[in-house]
Amino acid sequence: MATIPNVDFKKRRAPDFPSAALPLLQDAQLRSNVRHATGVIQGKRARVVSEMPDWQALRDAGQRIRAHTLEHLDIYLEQFEQRCIAAGGHVHWARDAAEANRIVLQLAQNRTGRIIKIKSMTTEETGLNRALEAAGIRPVETDLAELIVQLGHDKPSHIVVPALHKNRSQVRELFSRTMNLPQLGDRPEDLAEAARVYLRRQFLSTPVAVSGANFLIAETGGVCIVESEGNGRMCLTLPKKLISIAGIDKIIPRFRDLEVLLQVLPRSATGERMNPYNSLWTGVHPGDGPEEFHVVLLDNRRTEVLRDPEARETLHCIRCGACQNACPVYRQTGGHAYGSVYAGPIGAILTPQLAMMERGQSLPYASSLCGACYEVCPVKINIPEILIHLRGRVVTGRPKVLRAFHPEAIAMRAMQWMFLRATRFSMAQRLGRIAQRPWIRQSGWIERLPTVLGGWTRTRDLRPLPPQSFREWFQARSHASMPSQNSSEAPHD
């Protein structure tokens, strides 16, 4: 198992993407697990998307709902707060991760010393489990994938399928060891049964549950969670107290907006027409479900993301993970290379913004800009455009001295200077032909280059500059433009 870069939003220095990716690229088992799993989900998604004649219209509608919401986020957040309280819920506002964790800690105290959790990437973002453990409360993950991650002291590598980097036999080994089941088989039903037995006790005896949220409905003050296993439904109905943490971007204006979002989300996320479990609840109801219900609204720099008009679309994300499955970079490295719970293309734009561009500066460059993410995004976030925009913010955000003397900045200025006069460009072409001579091998190709260019020759050869550039050919041809002389190369018609 490759080492996982242990990174959180607070740390300034963390391994950059290329270095974090390196050990993962050498982990053949992990790469094969990731490729297989993303391939399976992509195939399912493609099938259920292709059966929708109005898919593009749904994406447009999804985009409009999200854009409208974020434009009027202040209004909808307050409306949500008001309606949630009116329905018997409690609403808490958290400026950052630490504040959110403090709020949950206070609410989570109970006689059993543990809480049960539904899969929530937002609590991964805030590091809630660590905060709970530090305070002596044991968080028990009930989502099968999150349980695998928790039991293995691992980190999620995908926002929908957090244990996507593990295969069945690895899960069997883990369960067998941690649940003390030496005879455990590795059929899906064996593993599900082991988890069921393990979790059932927790469901029945734990009085507090913590969840995330897929959507917060401003109109009703209700919360929506979709899932596949039913473990979430258990957490939402059995405990006496329910605490839901959600980023402020999870708001949708009206109940009927779910018509669009509950179509695009499951098809994009798991390749299902509908999730097996769709839970919607509003406030508390005597004798039915939790007696106490809290929502923690988390900012954690989302308002900073909103501030940048060219990148605020990032918050349109409904966390389906389709961009991760489609991304050829993610498919090679898996999610851990991104050093954040938000991996893949969405992580490459969200993580550095949530870190105020003080961290994760290599992430906007962790993309070939192939556009596969944009193509599958159910709410049409133009991720490649935002990646390019954030690359600009990385460059302009460098300290002044570095902006002037960063080797890349010097190279870019030099190239620009060269490209501003055609004569300089031709001169550079001629110089390049001379400079490359020592590097040309017997094969006639360049097989090793110095400095940063060595990145190229690590896996590829390079054909050297030919003796004549195109412009030289064209000029020579124009000079010799007598029709008779030219006839040998002017093709017959």
Partner 1 sequence: MRISLFIACYNDTLFPEIGIAVVRVLERLGHTIDFPLEQTCCGQMHYNTGYQPEALPLLRRFVEVFRDSEAVCVPSSSCVTMMREHYEKIALASGDNTLQSEVAALLPRVYEFTELLVHRLGVEGVGAVYPHRVTYHSSCHSLRNLRLGDVPIRLLSNVRDIELIPMEAADLCCGFGGTFSIKNPDVSGAMLEEKLQYIQKTQAEVCTACDSSCLMHIGGALHRRRAKMRTEHIATILASEVASAALRNGGR
Residues 396-455 that bind partner 1 (CB under 8 A): 408-409, 412-413, 415-416, 418-422, 425, 429, 432, 443, 445, 447, 452-453, 455
Which residue among 40, 87, 369, 440 contacts partner 1 (CB under 8 A)?
369
Tokens coding 324: 């991760």
| Stretch touching partner 1 by CB under 8 A, among 79-87, 96-104, 313-321, 456-464 | 456-464
Kindly state whether residue 333 participates in binding partner 1, applying the rule CB under 8 A: yes
CB of 433 to partner 1, least distance (A): 9
C-alpha pair distances (Å), 65 with each of 10, 316, 467 = 32, 9, 57
| Stretch touching partner 1 by CB under 8 A, among 124-132, 189-197, 266-274, 368-376 | 368-376
Q: Which of 209, 199, 202 is nearest to 245 (CA)?
A: 209
Instruction: Look at residue 274 and give its three-state secondary structure.
Output: coil
Kindly state whether residue 6 participates in binding partner 1, applying the rule CB under 8 A: no
Binding mask 34-73 for partner 1 (x = CB under 8 A): -x--------------------------------------
Dist CA 253 CA 445 (whole Å): 60
Q: Report the largest interatomic distance among the alpha carbons of the chain, rounded to a whole angstrom.
A: 99
**Among residues 98 and 428, whose Cβ is nearest to partner 1?**
428
| Stretch touching partner 1 by CB under 8 A, among 113-121, 142-150, 252-260, 324-332 | 324-332
**Among residues 75 and 452, whose Cβ is nearest to partner 1?**
452
**Among residues 153 and 463, whose Cβ is nearest to partner 1?**
463
**Among residues 3 and 112, whose Cβ is nearest to partner 1?**
3
**Among residues 177 and 413, whose Cβ is nearest to partner 1?**
413
| Stretch touching partner 1 by CB under 8 A, among 82-90, 102-110, 283-291, 470-478 | 470-478
Dist CA 190 CA 376 (whole Å): 34
Kindly state whether residue 470 participates in binding partner 1, applying the rule CB under 8 A: yes
Which residue among 368, 402, 427, 487 contacts partner 1 (CB under 8 A)?
368
Q: In what side-by-side order are the strands of the sheet with 241-247?
A: 90-94, 292-298, 241-247, 208-211, 114-117, 138-141
Kindly state whether residue 490 participates in binding partner 1, applying the rule CB under 8 A: yes
| Cα three-residue angle 99-103-106, rounded to 5 degrees | 135
**Among residues 63 and 367, whose Cβ is nearest to partner 1?**
367
Cβ atoms 145, 152 nearer than 8 A: no
Residues 22-41 that bind partner 1 (CB under 8 A): 22, 25, 31, 35
Which residue among 307, 456, 476, 485 contacts partner 1 (CB under 8 A)?
456
Which residue among 153, 458, 481, 483 contacts partner 1 (CB under 8 A)?
458
**Among residues 239 and 335, whose Cβ is nearest to partner 1?**
335
Residues 136-155 that bind partner 1 (CB under 8 A): none
Helix pair angle (188-205, 168-178), 10° resolution: 40
CB of 448 to partner 1, least distance (A): 11
Q: Which of 188, 177, 175, 165 is nearest to 29 (CA)?
A: 165
Kindly state whether residue 375 participates in binding partner 1, applying the rule CB under 8 A: yes
Cβ neighbours of residue 376 closer than 8 Å, sequence gap 6 or more:
45, 268, 322, 323, 325, 326
Cβ atoms 225, 130 nearer than 8 A: no
Compute and round to an integer the Cα radius of gyration of the chain.
Answer: 27
Dist CA 268 CA 71 (whole Å): 24
Q: Could you tell me whether strands 222-227 and 215-217 are parallel, antiparallel, or unpaired per DSSP bridges?
A: antiparallel
Size of the site for partner 1 (CB under 8 A): 72
Q: Which of 123, 141, 121 is nearest to 131 (CA)?
A: 123
